[in-house]
Chains A and B, each alone.
Chain A
Amino acid sequence: MNRPPERGLLSPRLIRAIGALGLLTTAATVWLGLWVTPPDITQGNLVRLLYIHPAIAFVALYVAGGLAALSSVLYLWRRTRTMFWDRLAAASVELAAVFCALTLITGSLWGRPTWGVWWTWDARLTSTALLLVLLLGYMALRRVPAEPAVRAKRCAVAALIAAVDVPIVHFSVDWWQTLHQAGTILNPELDAHIHGSMAWTFLLGFIAITLDFVWMVAMRYRIEVLADLVGDEELEVSLAERWAEGGGPAATPVPEPAAAAAEGGRP
């Protein structure tokens, strides 16, 4: 293992800094989005939802989804196989699911007054919903108890099989039918159809949500590490207790060295 299991994804100080920055930019986005920017000519106040919805979708689909696929590949590739990539994949899949759900919820809230329906069988909506189900499937598979290495490999394979499905789903529902507008900034002409304070708020939203995601993924990674440590510790404590019951030399539940000694002093 290249990295010792205790180490976090990023240094604690960096995580704190990213968290603070994320909070600050999110607050600024809220302030700019709700108070400073003017209502849109056609959409009125509804436009304010658009300062976060594309940003959340971007993080869900590209940042979190991409990170999950990348770390799964790196886990499966023998030369880079460490639990680091497995934990990172798990953390990003969970967050991808959260952001995916948020994308659907914010989109739905926007769609009701704009399109007149909560849901429509548009290509992007349908593929996002399918992606959410794929992510939930991965999480269900991860909850199945197994040896860490077996679970890691199984989950990495599942993530990869699901990842190759995403483009196919995308094309198939795209041809099925399309109602969602094309990208505002990443359109084929690369000519942004958004101006002034609105553009800045929109951009700030992307930065804020991405920072929030990085902070959350680092925290989630840490929880995964701690959960593994607690699992190991509990096993050691219970082992020590069992030996103590049997009248072995280790009478108190103790961490590693004494537990090892207890094992050595087996009658």
Chain B
Amino acid sequence: MWRDAALVAGKDLRIEARSRVALWQVLPFAVLALVLFAFAVGPGRAALRQAAPGLFWLAVLFSTVLAVQRSMAVESGEGTRDGMRLSGIDPAGVFLGKGAAVAVQLALLQVVLFVGLVLLFDVHLKTAWLAVVASLLATVGLAAAGVLYGALSAGLRVRETLLPLLVLPILAPVLLAGSRAWSAALSGPASAGGPWLRILGAFAAVYVVVGIVLYGPLQEAT
């Protein structure tokens, strides 16, 4: 399963590295979202700083939808999905591999977005480890849940409109817990982030396990 996962993740990341869709489309979109959020909040420093964690995670959430759509579009070529199924790769391996590829992209995206946050929103990290741990846990959860729903809506003609409706409410706890944990990391006492890390960890664990179990039946259903 792990070897299969590494193969699939390697394949997806190689395709991304060569096509650069994530680099030239998803990443600029996330930065653009950040700028637009600033317009919506107004130029006041205090307001921007207070809203920064929430807006950061909102941008990450929207980018997750795009990254997942992209990850599934890679498989949408003629016969690609059948080829994948015929190759004898464990469905759980496919899930973990695609999830890992999306997670790597999301992690890089968060680094860029954080730089944007520092430059545009004037934030300072007080507790770096808290922000990093929260980001890592959230990334695993976002990628796992995202890939599950991506696979669910792959091959449907209405997938572009259906995927956000299905996946965004599922990701709401990540937005909530991620923002709270980052608030604590940016300005509050670090101890305030503890419960939120637990939520992020639980979310990630649940969706990784659910994905490993359900990806098989899901592949049959699309």
List residues of chain A with CB under 8 Å of any chain B CB.
76, 130, 133-134, 136-137, 140-141, 144, 150, 153-154, 157-158, 160-162, 164-165, 168-169, 171-173, 175-176
Instruction: State which of A76, A141, A169, A175 has its C-beta within 8 Å of the C-beta of B217.
Output: A76
> B210 to A161, Cβ gap below 8 A?
yes
Interface 9-mer from B5-13, B36-44, B145-153: B145-153
Contacts of A162 in B (CB 8 A): 170
Contacts A130-B172, A168-B173, A168-B203 given; indicate if A140 touches B165 (C-beta within 8 A): yes
Residues of B within 8 A of A (CB): 145, 148-149, 152-153, 156-158, 162, 165-166, 169-170, 172-173, 176-177, 180, 195-196, 199, 202-203, 206-207, 210, 214, 217-218, 220-222
Residues of A with C-beta under 8 A to B199:
168, 171-172, 175
A22 vs B70: C-alpha distance in the bound complex, in angstroms? 50
> Closest 8 A-B residue pairs measured CB to CB?
A153-B221, A172-B173, A133-B169, A154-B221, A137-B166, A168-B173, A172-B176, A172-B199
Would you call A161 and B217 a contact (CB within 8 A)? no
19 A-B contacts (beta carbon < 8 Å): A136-B165, A140-B165, A144-B162, A153-B220, A153-B221, A158-B166, A161-B148, A161-B149, A161-B152, A164-B210, A168-B199, A168-B206, A172-B172, A172-B176, A172-B177, A172-B199, A173-B176, A175-B199, A176-B180
List residues of chain A with CB within 8 A of the CB of B221: 150, 153-154, 157
The B contact surface, by secondary structure, is: helix
A172: chain B residues within 8 A (beta carbon): 172-173, 176-177, 199
Using CB atoms, name the residue of chain B closest to A154: B221
Residue of A nearest to B215 (CB): A157
> Judging by beta carbons under 8 Å apart, are B202 and A160 in contact?
no
In whole angstroms, how far apart are the Cα atoms of A172 and B195 in the complex? 9
> A130 vs B170: C-alpha distance in the bound complex, in angstroms?
8
User: Which chain B residues border A136 with CB–CB below 8 Å?
Assistant: 165
Chain A: CB-nearest residue to B141:
A168
Are A161 and B145 in touch, CB under 8 angstroms? yes
Instruction: Find the B residue at minimum CB distance from A165.
Output: B170
Query: Which of chain A's residues have a CB closer than 8 A to the CB of B165?
Result: 133, 136-137, 140
Point out which of A164, A172, A173 has the most chain B C-beta atoms below 10 A from its C-beta: A172
